[in-house]
Structure 1
Amino acid sequence: MSIDAKDSAAAPEIEELPGDLRMARALWPVLLASAVGLLPFTVFSTYLVPIAEEAGSSVAAMGGLRGLGGLAALAVGTALAPLIDRVRKEWAAAGGLLALGASAALGAGGELLLLATFCLLAGASTAVLNPALTAAAADRFGSGKAAGRAATLVTATTSMTAMLAAPLVALPALLWGWEGDLLAVTALALPLAAVFLARGRKGGGGGAADGQRPGYLASFKALAAVRGAVPLLLISFLRTAVFMGYLAYLAAYYDDRFELGPGPFSLVWTLSGASFFVSNLFTGRVTNSARSRIGTERLLGIGLLAALVSVVGFYFTHWLPLALAMTSLHAAAHAVVAACAVSLLVRRCGSLRGAALSLNSAGQSLGVFAGAALGGAGLGLAGYPGAAAAFGALVAVALGAALLVSRTGTERDRGRST
């Protein structure tokens, strides 16, 4: 039985959530495309040293090109946010996949100019691809909790891809090198783009009727008027800044405090990735279930509290088992927050969900830069306690935003019941 928006809005209390396997079968192109979208920069980061050697550049300069991709994602994601809901999501995803495939093919050339173009184009394409895929998954299941679950399946697939980066990237590269990895991305992206183009022709329109669509600037105003949307976007930005800033210095911390080299540290990285994936998958299911006994807004606050405790406690830990436990807890807490934020944006923003998810993705791109910069500043000024203070302060601000989200949710629920 399909789920439509009308039935979801009319009786959210009795909405039955389809099984994950059933959703995955319906969304297989979306889930596969979300995995492919993460691969180009995964290849670039994994093989940064040989890529720099091939281009005749330094590792530092080549690593800086990755920042170009983040800036492109921020600019494109923000600029195109109101337009995501004006076209069919499948067509937007197809365009993103075509650009992603082209960028990977250019990057395989190995020259400095081609690699710079690769980073810019890959960043811009993912800024379109990620929100289009997430919104398309949600649209497939209406506007209720099933839509939120479908969206979190996309984010869970992305986190699983990051966790499985070694077999997905390193093993094939033993046969054809990093250039072959990028060409494989092109070979996957182009047929997937054709699938989305075909699905777009069969599906209905991608947004509101022409007479109901707000203008470009009016779309930003309409989104700002959605209760809790702005605090949710702020939480997503702050969460990304904390988590990515923390991860940026994680290897150095374990090496300095526990003398863990790259080999043993890879197990720590796997622990963190697995914790995030399992928690994201589980939270997306629980928070969008009609039988859940805990509200999404409350679970969001719990996740942020756990993130605050774990990130501050981590930097004052001198016992390896406790540090590993904190690493696992911190990743799991961020996964809870990420799943709750996406679920609430999808369920609250309705026809503006594409714009909301685009701004959400752009904010995460900004968060990557902000987190690394603030974490570095904290370390430089006061060592690990400084990093704990910097990241803890960001989570504290996010907790304040979560209170606003909780209040708007309560008001909305009261209004619906009267």
Structure 2
Amino acid sequence: MTAQAASRPPARRPTPDIRIVRAIWPAMLAGTVSLLPFTVYSTFLVPISETVRADAAAVGALRGLGGVAALLTGVAIAPLLGRWPRHRAVAGALTLLALCCLTATTGSYAALVAFCLGTGVATAVLTPALLALATSRFTDPADGGRAATLVSTSTTLAAVLAGPVVGGLAAWRGWAGALWVTAALAVLTGLAFLRSADPGAEQAAAPGYRESLRRLRSRPDLLAVVAVAGLRTTSFMGYLSFLAVTYHDRFGTDAGTFTLVWTLSGASFVVGGYLAGRWARDDGAAGPARPRLLLLAGLGGGLVAVLTVFLVPWLPGALAATTVMGFGHAVVGATATSLIAQRAGRLTPATFGLQAAGMSLGVFAGAALGGAGLAVAGSPGLAVALAVPTALAVLLVRSATRTRIS
């Protein structure tokens, strides 16, 4: 046995997932509730448009205001998140979500504008605050990273199952009833968050706004992780924007059948996120090798899949590519979350805030990039356009995993 091996401390057994879930269940619940407002909006777009007497396309486009609001809010507040009591930030964001839902039910176009803007602002605060709070519940960085990925995975699982849930909520008074129930759930979840808060877990004396920005600029590894997350989102969300059209045009898939394709994609994303969260747990022995391998494998799989799904002429190949796409991108997302939770230290809230803003930007960039590629060169142009962000992310992997700073 070498002297180095003899001096290495024994590996600590990882905390079981069930114990982590018991500690962070309010964060997982809050993440689930945060998905409901826009899910109701998208699901009942036609009756909502009829209620406000506006064109469905115009009402649907309003959701883009939420993304713009989330992007601007995320960039503006990211350096401040570390100075706010996180359980209060989450409760405040959930209260804003509840108010937005109630506002939308008044049934005017202006109310829908306020709903979309307010929901975007609330989620820009809520998502990074939940991830940072889950991370802070554990002193071991590996456990903190696992907690953050479990929050993300539970939110993704809720997105996959949201359709039937929203349908059940709407059984009482249609879409307005669904938003009323969502508002009540948001308030109750916020209260549960306040009651379960552990003030001792909050970080004290976090750096101020300018100091946070200065420290982030001195951490190229964290900025590279944020960039990888944003580029991954650009490719994946652009892919989702045109997936239904591709399956319809190439394979004659109707809307009902496509829901099975969507479920396949979502299920593979959930499984990939859950497993990658376990694989990315870093006990310090592997150094950067493990996260680097996970990022490269996920991005490589995603790169092959996005080129395949829009070009392959036979259905089994497209379904296989859809599965790989969801799984690979989930691996990248979970690994990026783990890297931030394990390495950012006092900059964790600010970094999660920037990551959320970058992902909001990716949603719009993906749709725009994919649309441009489709307009210029059809399906091959769409495939290549959405492969470019993934290829750029591959170039940043070494920078994202180069250093380890606690």
Same fold (TM over 0.5): yes
Matched, 1:189 2:182: no
- 8 Å CA contact 1:143–1:350 kept in 2: the answer is no
* Matched residue type, 1:404: S
Greater mean deviation of Cα atoms: 248-257 or 98-107: 98-107
Instruction: Name the structure 2 match of 1:245.
Output: 238
Residue in 2 that maps onto 1:340: 335
Question: Using a 3 Å threshold, how does the CA distance of structure 1 residues 404 and 62 change in structure 2: closer, same or farther?
Answer: same
Tell me by how many angstroms 1:215 deviates.
3.1
2: CA distance, partners of 1:93 / 1:214: 20
Give % identity: 44
| Amino acid aligned to 1:282 | L
Given that residues 85 and 352 in structure 1 are in contact (C-alpha distance below 8 angstroms), is that contact kept between their aligned partners in structure 2? yes
| Equivalent residue runs for 1:113-124 within 5 Å | 113-124=110-121
Once the two structures are TM-superposed, the CA of residue 127 in structure 1 deviates from its matched residue by 0.4
Q: Distance in 1 between matches of 2:265 and 2:285?
A: 26
RMSD, matched Cα: 1.9
User: 1:206 Cα shift?
Assistant: 3.0
| Structure-2 residue corresponding to 1:228 | 221
Deviation at 1:329, TM superposition (A): 0.4
Contact 1:88 1:205 in 2 (8 A): no
Residue 376 of structure 1 is aligned with which of 360, 371, 376? 371
For 1:317, the equivalent position in structure 2 comes to: 312
Report the residue type matching 1:233 in the other structure: V
| Equivalent position SS for 1:14 | coil
Any conservation in 1 of the 2:232–2:390 contact (CA below 8 Å)?
Answer: yes
Query: Could you say which residue in structure 2 is the equivalent of 1:361?
Result: 356
- Divergent runs of 4+, >3 A: 10-13, 289-294
Find the counterpart in structure 2 of residue 4 from structure 1: none
Partner amino acid, structure 1, of 2:107: G
Structure 1 pair 16/123, CA: closer, same or farther in 2 (3 Å)? Answer: same
User: Given the alignment, which residue of 170, 177, 186 partners 2:174?
Assistant: 177
Q: Aligned pair 1:208/2:207, yes or no?
A: no
Aligned to 1:388: 383
The answer to whether the 8 Å contact 1:12/1:144 transfers is no
Q: CA offsets per residue over residues 66-102 of structure 1, 9 Å max, x none?
A: 0111011011111111111002211111111111111
Show the counterpart of 1:158: 155
Structure 1 residue 195 displacement after superposition: 2.4
**How many positions carry a matched residue from both structures?**
398
1:70 aligns with 2:67: yes
Instruction: Give ranges in structure 2 of 5+ residues lacking alignment.
Output: 1-6
Question: What TM-score, normalized to structure 1?
Answer: 0.91
1:292 CA drift (Å)? 9.4
Aligned equivalent of 1:5: none
**1:403 deviation in Å?**
2.3
Alignment match of 1:141 (pick from 118, 132, 138): 138
Q: Give the Cα–Cα distance (whole angstroms) in 1 for the partners of residues 388 and 112 of structure 2.
A: 37
- Deviation, structure 1 residue 11: 8.2
Contact 2:220 2:399 in 1 (8 A): no
TM superposition shift of 1:227: 4.4
Whole-angstrom distance in 2 between the partners of 1:208 and 1:347: 18
Contact 1:12–1:290, Cα closer than 8 Å, also in 2: no
Show the counterpart of 1:88.
Answer: 85
Range 184-193 or range 223-232, more displaced: 223-232
Aligned to 2:3: none
Matched, 1:397 2:392: yes
Give the letter for the 1:195 counterpart. Answer: A
Decide whether the 8 Å contact of 1:242 with 1:394 is kept in 2.
Answer: yes
Return the offset for 1:116.
0.8
- Given the two structures, how large is their TM-score scaled by the length of structure 2? 0.94
- Aligned ranges 1:240-319 → 2 under 5 Å: 240-288=233-281, 290=283, 295-319=290-314
Match among 35, 39, 47 for residue 38 of structure 1: 35
Q: Any unmatched runs of 5+ in structure 1?
A: 1-9
User: How far does the alpha carbon of each residue in 1:28-58 deviate from its partner, in whole angstroms, 9 at most, with x for none?
Assistant: 1111000000110111111111111111111
- 1:166-222: CA deviation from partner (whole Å, max 9, x where unpaired): 22112332333111111111111112212223344x51263332xxx4331221120
Report how far residue 14 of structure 1 moved. 1.9
- Contact 1:18–1:146 (8 Å) recurs in 2: yes
* Residue 107 in structure 1 maps to residue 100 in structure 2: no
Conserved? CA contact 1:12–1:145, under 8 Å: no
